[in-house]
Amino acid sequence: MTDGLKTHRTTGHVRPATIIDVAREAGVSFKTVSRVLNGETNVREETRVKVLEAVKTLNYRTNHNARNLRARHSHIICLFYANPSRNYIGEVQLGALQRCQAYGYSLITEDCSDNHPSLLALRAETKLAGAILTPPLSDDEKLISELQNRGIPFVRIAPAEDVDHGQDVAIDDAAAAREMTEYLIGLGHRRIGFIKGA
């Protein structure tokens, strides 16, 4: 890596460093990099220094406002979450971040566990190109209504109710459960337990 540019393994093209490159360079998660870049205080000084050194080494730069002004429309997508499972949210964030970067968008995330979403990323100064709603926010009527009122496109992940309301991404849970159970029965098991999450 030189001057913040990295050669893409498959195309051979040189591209600017991404937040994932910074995370790898610093040996931390991309969420930690995001916290450092956003100036959050819940990061150890040693970690903060490592991240900033990686940013400097890779010449990593991001400027949401300048990008939006040049394009005359937003390139920011917000992922809303209120799920206590760090593993689940981490995987969803990583997938969303990788796809956003592939298309020249930036991802911001908002933890809505203790606050109503309208007080967070939907603040007036943040113009969003779109939003991703994760369970249980996929069924939050107030959040959905606010997004609609602001004309912000959104996608809901695995909504439990009103599945015809807007775009959504989900799997057939009943079919998946049936397939898993049939697999266990095929192994000879007859006493099968089911453990569900929050």
Model confidence pLDDT, tens digit, residues 105-164: 888 888 888 766 554 545 555 678 899 999 989 988 888 888 888 888 999 998 887 766
> Helix, strand or coil for residue 99?
helix
Instruction: Find the angle CA(79)-CA(64)-CA(57) to the nearest 5 degrees.
Output: 100
User: 11: domain range?
Assistant: 1-62
3-state secondary structure 96-147: HHHHHHHCCCEEEEEECCCCCHHHCCCCCCCCCCEEEECCCHHHCHHHHHHH
Reported as a single tens digit per residue, the pLDDT across 37-59 is 766 667 888 888 888 888 888 88
Q: Which of 49, 28, 106 has the alpha carbon at shortest distance from 74?
A: 106
Is there a single domain that holds both residue 81 and residue 162?
yes
- Residue 143 inside a domain? The answer is yes
Is there a single domain that holds both residue 150 and residue 135?
yes
Q: Band of the pLDDT at 179, cuts 50, 70, 90?
A: very high
Q: Band of the pLDDT at 70, cuts 50, 70, 90?
A: very low
Residues forming a β-bridge with 154: 131
Is there a single domain that holds both residue 22 and residue 107?
no
- Residue 176 inside a domain? The answer is no
Is there a single domain that holds both residue 100 and residue 54?
no
Is there a single domain that holds both residue 85 and residue 139?
yes
Q: How far apart are CA 152 and CA 198, in angstroms?
A: 29
Is there a single domain that holds both residue 74 and residue 164?
yes
Is there a single domain that holds both residue 71 and residue 97?
yes
- Residue 71 inside a domain? The answer is yes
Structural contact between residues 184 and 192, judged by C-beta atoms closer than 8 angstroms: yes
Q: How far apart are CA 141 and CA 144, in angstroms?
A: 5
Reported as a single tens digit per residue, the pLDDT across 80-111 is 988 878 888 888 989 998 888 878 888 888 88
Is there a single domain that holds both residue 5 and residue 38?
yes
